[in-house]
Chains A and B, each alone.
Chain A
Amino acid sequence: MSDSEEPQQKTVIGIAFGNSNSSIAFTSPDGKAEVIANEEGDRQIPSVLSYVGDEEYHGAQAKSHLVRNPKNTIAYFRDFLGKSFADIDPTNAHSSAHPIQHETGVAFSVEEKADAEPSTLTVSEITTRHIRRLQESAADFLGKKIDGCVITVPTDFSEAQRKLLAEASKATGLEVLQIIHEPVASLLAYTAREETSHPVDKTVLVLDIGGTRTDAAVIASRGGMFTLLATQHDYELGGRQFDDVLVDHFSKEFIKKHKTDPRENERSLAKLKLECEATKKTLSLSNSAQISIESLAGGFDFHSTVNKLRYDLLSKKLADQIVGLVESVVKKAGMDLSDINEVILAGGTSHTPKIASRIQQIFPSTTAVQAPATNPNALNPSELSARGAAIQASLIAEFEAEDIEQSTHPAVTVTPHLPKPIGVVIHSPEGDEGKAEDKVYVFLDAETAVPARRTATFIGTQVGGDVLIRIVEAKKESVDITPPKEVKEKATDEDDEDDEDDDEEEEEEKVIKRVTEVEKVIAEALLKDVKKGQKVEVMLNVAGDLTLTITARVVGGKGGVRGTVPGRA
């Protein structure tokens, strides 16, 4: 029966519309998101359009025209959408068609047709053309007409920009079901992979290192619902800066050999940049990479190799900046690094192993860093947004436009969040009060959107008898659990040479542990006659007006205790 309904299903895709690259994804019938390759086999389709003669080139083909025909090649236009000419940073478009002022917005002037006057194309128009090509690729791949899409945008995209984007897409006949935030889409791509009906509560940092910019976002994932806690952007840090590091490196090498600076000639620079990008990508996978460019400058060919260590050294400064960005966004969210349970690396540059390992270093080992270099099961960072968008698209494909409108309305999205974790006091094992252990089992973490409910079972008591269930608001505290110093000094004596290093380590070795402590007792419940070894199930339910209901019962037993703390309404 269900098979016969499938042909009526809408074909929807997810589009990750990036400043440098875009990708398209769809959800297969078994619910897995897959990224679609375009006609040339690219899954990362450069957001570039080039006009040569009467032809329009798109994607990788257009990108190669950055060398031969930069004036008629439009790249890095996404961030110009919906902005006034005064507000844009044209640096990225330096080696392609230059943005010009057009009425209130930004446009490009290119020779669209051979033997014709250059025409002025607004950013909206270019976006429309770009999306049309993406849509055509998807339709060709799926063999079906595309009915709708979900597009991802950075968190700093304004309402006007979203509107323009939706209009641009509509002009191609592609209905935009929803526009979602890139980091949230990336997170969704990961959470959709976990097949539990009730996802674990966690706080996630999504670090999106794109081609031209880097965005970091702290997201609270509570019961599968996501709340953005803080975002931070760096518009001058991205894959291009990493390319430039290699460009400078190879240029110096070239100057040494041929006394000519390839950076002085625009065409040579474009060639070198293009090749350095490829070399950088190779370095993410292997220990050394070759570069070879015919007739780079002054008629000289250029061949060279670079190893990963050299590249890591050269790009250390950039990696430091990324680490700084991560730290600042966590601070902005009012959290400690150890409060982050998971780090998701997204964006093409996240393939770089050094970045992933640097991120892993600053976080405690309990924090999972999702990047190809640190987790073999990690998803391809370049595809995360598109996958998330595709998953979201498949979820809302059958919704009416009005349904989507209502579901994304602020009246529904704006929700009270718990300011403090709520939990139940637990018995410290061994009765060791001084040890740094959690004193509270947290049911509902801070920043949980209400209404919410959680259930947990406890091993009743060690001895049997009545059980006290004390519901509290908790707080997290850092406790210094650095082992006593004597042990350390012994180690230094043994190894004099590494003295300096050890001193440094000593600073860092100060082990800090975050534990949950009781801050405020809300209520107490008494569960009578629990025999030893019997399990106790406790359910906390917080309503939208912060009415707290607690239900506790012995598993398999009768009765139980139930109580309500009135809300604030």
Chain B
Amino acid sequence: MNVVATKHFLLPAEPEWPHEGGFHILENLSEPTHRNLEPVGPHYLAHARRKRHRRTFSEDDRIVAAQQAKNVEDADPGEISEPEDAMLLSRDPKDWKNQDHYAVLGISKYRWKATDEQIKRAHRKKVLKHHPDKKAAAGGVDDDNFFKCIQKAMEILTDPVKRRQYDSVDESADVDPPSRKAKGNIYKLWNPVFDSEGRFSKKKPVPRFGDDKSTKAEVEEFYNFWYNFDSWRTFEYLDEDVPDDNENRDQKRHVERKNKAARAKRKTEDTARLRKVVDDALAMDVRLQKFRKEEKLQKDAKKIAREAEEKRLAEEAKKKAEEDARRKEEEEAALKASKADAKKAKEAAKNAAKKNKRVLRKGAEDANYFHADGAAPPDVITNVLADVELLITKLDNEELDVVAKKLAGLKVSDEIKSVLADSIRGTVSKGTATEGDFKVLLK
């Protein structure tokens, strides 16, 4: 808060101060007006902050100042503190190839997972402790062997290429795969193995072995990945020292060739080893059996369902066929019966018609062919018979029957004639014959 310096003088006090103490209140401040502040500008934002958090000026000043002071120091997580055993401390720095660089720096629990930042900090801590100048000042022994180990470890672990070479052969980071006969939770047994093997993968992320909840796709992807594993693992670290060029060139080349062959051999061996590990895992993976079983169950379930369906369909078809046959039989029997009936009726009708026709002809004969007296001349007989025959042909069986019944018992020629004439008129009115067809019976 700044202070405005004025050039003004304050009032001199009157000689007599009539009040007690140094302060005296006369009146209150006037009633305030409420207005809208424009929510704009840094000072408004400060005001809003104070008002929202109910801070006074000095509180807010303090809090803001505390926030603005940047926290530069990262707190030391204290993660790098492993006990150093005597064996480690007495290592010969010349034997660096066999040295556990992570253990030297005290980060053996991180190994390949250690970040550059962790390595750097671990190194610094070790240097502070083991610097030869410090040791000389403290105890007087001029022993910088372990310091050299530290520097070598640092050199290797901070160079990405060298670190990979070392990580490639860092067997302490390996997790041995369980034997085939191992019992227990396969997920607990295998997950660490693949997590550790996964560090050599060029492809990231590496799929995990998973657990019994992994889906079939996940498991398949896992084995796919591991059977096509792309590893950056190299074995240069184990190379024999190549002798100097000026000593013996042939010797040097020989060693180089040997190294190359050894590397290739180790790489092949490693690939084979990994393959075996994956094979073992696959063999022990109960999930695959589970998936197979599930699949089979599913297939079986489908099959059963399909068979049931087929059976159902066959039964239905059979039922239908039986039904059809039964119905056909019934129909045929009915047809046969009706045919026989019809034949009988037909024959009966035929006989009746014959009889009726005979009655009609007989009627004409009984009426002496409607001749007045004496034997009728042959031409009359012919005409009458022709008319009767015509009438017979024009009448169907039932009408014939009706006419025959009317004629039955009639002897008088006129009556017979009128019956025949009536039936003729009937046929004419039906339109099956005309009056002109008949020669005598209508006269």
A and B: bona fide binding partners? yes
A residues contacting B by CB (< 8 A) are: 1-2, 178, 180-181, 184-185, 188, 191-192, 196-199, 219, 223-229, 388, 391-392, 395-396, 406-408, 410, 412-420, 422, 424-427, 429, 441, 447, 449-451, 453-463, 465-470, 473, 520-528, 536-537, 541-544, 546, 548, 550, 561-563, 565-568
Q: Which of B13-27 contact A (CB under 8 A)?
A: 13-14, 17, 19, 22-27
Cβ-based interface call for B184 (8 A): no
Which of A181, A224, A412, A417 has a CB less than 8 Å from the CB of B48? A412
Q: Could you tell me if A537 and B13 are in contact, using CB atoms closer than 8 angstroms?
A: no
B residues contacting A by CB (< 8 A) are: 1-14, 17, 19, 22-45, 47-52, 56-57, 70, 72
Q: Decide yes or no: A468 and B10 within 8 Å by CB, A392-B40, A412-B48, A522-B26 being known contacts.
A: yes
Q: Could you tell me if A395 and B10 are in contact, using CB atoms closer than 8 angstroms?
A: no
Give B9's nearest chain A residue, CB to CB. A427
Q: Decide yes or no: A459 and B27 within 8 Å by CB, A196-B2, A453-B57, A537-B3 being known contacts.
A: no
Complex A-B: 16 CB contacts under 8 Å: A188-B41, A196-B2, A198-B2, A392-B41, A406-B52, A415-B37, A419-B31, A455-B1, A465-B12, A466-B13, A467-B11, A469-B11, A473-B29, A524-B19, A546-B29, A563-B22
CB contacts (< 8 Å) of B27 on chain A: these are 520-523
Q: Decide yes or no: A413 and B13 within 8 Å by CB, A450-B32, A451-B50 being known contacts.
A: no
Task: Find the residue from B19, B37, B40 having the highest chain A CB count within 10 A.
Answer: B40
CA distance A456 to B31 in the complex (A): 25
Give B23's nearest chain A residue, CB to CB. A563
CB contacts (< 8 Å) of B24 on chain A: these are 523-525, 563
Q: Could you tell me the distance in whole angstroms from the C-beta of B17 to the nearest C-beta in chain A?
A: 5
Which of B5, B12, B14, B22 has a CB less than 8 Å from the CB of A427? B12
Q: Could you tell me if A410 and B9 are in contact, using CB atoms closer than 8 angstroms?
A: no
Which of A392, A454, A462, A466 has a CB less than 8 Å from the CB of B4? A454
CB contacts (< 8 Å) of A536 on chain B: these are 10
Q: Could you tell me the distance in whole angstroms from the C-beta of A514 to the nearest C-beta in chain B?
A: 18
Q: Could you tell me the distance in whole angstroms from the C-beta of A464 to the nearest C-beta in chain B?
A: 9
9 more A-B contacts (CB under 8 A) besides A408-B39, A523-B24?
Answer: A412-B47, A414-B34, A449-B37, A461-B11, A467-B11, A467-B13, A522-B28, A526-B22, A563-B22
CA distance A517 to B40 in the complex (A): 33
Q: Could you tell me the distance in whole angstroms from the C-beta of A530 to the nearest C-beta in chain B?
A: 8
Q: Could you tell me if A561 and B22 are in contact, using CB atoms closer than 8 angstroms?
A: yes
CB contacts (< 8 Å) of B45 on chain A: these are 395-396, 407
CA distance A437 to B102 in the complex (A): 82
Give A407's nearest chain B residue, CB to CB. B48
Q: Could you tell me the distance in whole angstroms from the C-beta of A169 to the nearest C-beta in chain B?
A: 18
Q: Decide yes or no: A227 and B28 within 8 Å by CB, A466-B13, A526-B22 being known contacts.
A: no
Which of B11, B35, B41 has a CB less than 8 Å from the CB of A468? B11
Q: Could you tell me the distance in whole angstroms from the C-beta of B327 to the nearest C-beta in chain A?
A: 70
CB contacts (< 8 Å) of A391 on chain B: these are 41
Which of B5, B25, B32 has a CB less than 8 Å from the CB of A523? B25
10 closest Cβ pairs, A-B complex = A224-B43, A563-B23, A466-B13, A416-B32, A561-B22, A407-B48, A427-B9, A408-B39, A226-B38, A426-B8
CA distance A465 to B10 in the complex (A): 11
Q: Could you tell me the distance in whole angstroms from the C-beta of A386 to the nearest C-beta in chain B?
A: 14
Which of A225, A418, A451 has a CB less than 8 Å from the CB of B57? A451
CB contacts (< 8 Å) of B42 on chain A: these are 192, 224, 395
CA distance A445 to B6 in the complex (A): 16
Task: Find the residue from B17, B25, B27 having the highest chain A CB count within 10 A.
Answer: B25
Give B26's nearest chain A residue, CB to CB. A521
CB contacts (< 8 Å) of B49 on chain A: these are 407
CB contacts (< 8 Å) of B40 on chain A: these are 180-181, 184-185, 188, 226, 388, 392
Q: Could you tell me if B6 and A181 are in contact, using CB atoms closer than 8 angstroms?
A: no
CA distance A363 to B125 in the complex (A): 72
Which of B2, B11, B56 has a CB less than 8 Å from the CB of A470? B11
Q: Could you tell me the distance in whole angstroms from the C-beta of B21 to the nearest C-beta in chain A?
A: 8
Q: Could you tell me the distance in whole angstroms from the C-beta of B256 to the nearest C-beta in chain A?
A: 45
Q: Decide yes or no: A456 and B38 within 8 Å by CB, A461-B9, A463-B12 being known contacts.
A: no
CB contacts (< 8 Å) of B38 on chain A: these are 180-181, 184, 219, 225-228, 413
What secondary structure prevails in chain A residues at the interface with B? strand
Q: Decide yes or no: A225 and B41 within 8 Å by CB, A407-B48, A459-B9 being known contacts.
A: yes
Q: Could you tell me if B37 and A419 are in contact, using CB atoms closer than 8 angstroms?
A: no
CB contacts (< 8 Å) of B22 on chain A: these are 525-528, 561, 563
What secondary structure prevails in chain B residues at the interface with A? mixed
Q: Could you tell me if B13 and A468 are in contact, using CB atoms closer than 8 angstroms?
A: yes
CB contacts (< 8 Å) of A544 on chain B: these are 51
CB contacts (< 8 Å) of B12 on chain A: these are 427, 461-463, 465-468
Q: Could you tell me if B11 and A427 are in contact, using CB atoms closer than 8 angstroms?
A: yes
CB contacts (< 8 Å) of A463 on chain B: these are 12
Q: Could you tell me the distance in whole angstroms from the C-beta of A558 to the nearest C-beta in chain B?
A: 14
CA distance A228 to B56 in the complex (A): 25
Q: Could you tell me if A416 and B47 are in contact, using CB atoms closer than 8 angstroms?
A: no
CB contacts (< 8 Å) of B10 on chain A: these are 424, 426-427, 458-461, 467-469, 536
Q: Could you tell me if B8 and A407 are in contact, using CB atoms closer than 8 angstroms?
A: no
CB contacts (< 8 Å) of A418 on chain B: these are 29-30, 32
Q: Could you tell me the distance in whole angstroms from the C-beta of A552 to the nearest C-beta in chain B?
A: 9
Q: Decide yes or no: A417 and B33 within 8 Å by CB, A226-B41, A468-B14 being known contacts.
A: yes
CA distance A318 to B41 in the complex (A): 33
CB contacts (< 8 Å) of A426 on chain B: these are 6, 8-11
Give A415's nearest chain B residue, CB to CB. B37
Q: Could you tell me if B37 and A227 are in contact, using CB atoms closer than 8 angstroms?
A: yes
Give A201's nearest chain B residue, CB to CB. B4
Which of A223, A467, A522, A527 has a CB less than 8 Å from the CB of B43? A223
Which of B9, B23, B25, B50 has a CB less than 8 Å from the CB of A561? B23
Q: Could you tell me if B28 and A566 are in contact, using CB atoms closer than 8 angstroms?
A: yes
Q: Could you tell me the distance in whole angstroms from the C-beta of A504 to the nearest C-beta in chain B?
A: 37
Q: Decide yes or no: A199 and B43 within 8 Å by CB, A410-B36, A456-B6, A525-B24 being known contacts.
A: yes
CB contacts (< 8 Å) of A417 on chain B: these are 32-35
Q: Could you tell me the distance in whole angstroms from the C-beta of B355 to the nearest C-beta in chain A?
A: 98
Which of B33, B44, B72 has a CB less than 8 Å from the CB of A226? B44
CA distance A537 to B29 in the complex (A): 22
CB contacts (< 8 Å) of A562 on chain B: these are 23
Give B7's nearest chain A residue, CB to CB. A459
CB contacts (< 8 Å) of B37 on chain A: these are 225-227, 413-415, 449
CB contacts (< 8 Å) of B6 on chain A: these are 426, 441, 456-459
CB contacts (< 8 Å) of B30 on chain A: these are 418-420, 473, 520
Q: Could you tell me the distance in whole angstroms from the C-beta of B292 to the nearest C-beta in chain A?
A: 51
Give A428's nearest chain B residue, CB to CB. B9
Give A447's nearest chain B residue, CB to CB. B35
CB contacts (< 8 Å) of B5 on chain A: these are 456-457
Q: Could you tell me if A565 and B52 are in contact, using CB atoms closer than 8 angstroms?
A: no
CB contacts (< 8 Å) of B48 on chain A: these are 406-408, 412
Q: Could you tell me if A546 and B4 are in contact, using CB atoms closer than 8 angstroms?
A: no
Q: Decide yes or no: A568 and B2 within 8 Å by CB, A461-B10, A465-B12, A470-B11 being known contacts.
A: no
CA distance A457 to B11 in the complex (A): 14
Q: Could you tell me if A407 and B39 are in contact, using CB atoms closer than 8 angstroms?
A: yes
Q: Could you tell me the distance in whole angstroms from the C-beta of B70 to the nearest C-beta in chain A?
A: 7
Q: Could you tell me the distance in whole angstroms from the C-beta of A561 to the nearest C-beta in chain B?
A: 4
Q: Could you tell me if A1 and B72 are in contact, using CB atoms closer than 8 angstroms?
A: yes
Which of B17, B29, B36, B44 has a CB less than 8 Å from the CB of A526? B17
Q: Could you tell me the distance in whole angstroms from the C-beta of A92 to the nearest C-beta in chain B?
A: 28
Q: Could you tell me the distance in whole angstroms from the C-beta of A437 to the nearest C-beta in chain B?
A: 10
Q: Could you tell me the distance in whole angstroms from the C-beta of A55 to the nearest C-beta in chain B?
A: 38
Q: Could you tell me if B17 and A224 are in contact, using CB atoms closer than 8 angstroms?
A: no
CB contacts (< 8 Å) of B7 on chain A: these are 459
Q: Could you tell me the distance in whole angstroms from the C-beta of B103 to the nearest C-beta in chain A?
A: 33
Q: Could you tell me if B36 and A227 are in contact, using CB atoms closer than 8 angstroms?
A: yes
Q: Could you tell me if A462 and B28 are in contact, using CB atoms closer than 8 angstroms?
A: no
CA distance A197 to B27 in the complex (A): 33
CB contacts (< 8 Å) of A543 on chain B: these are 56
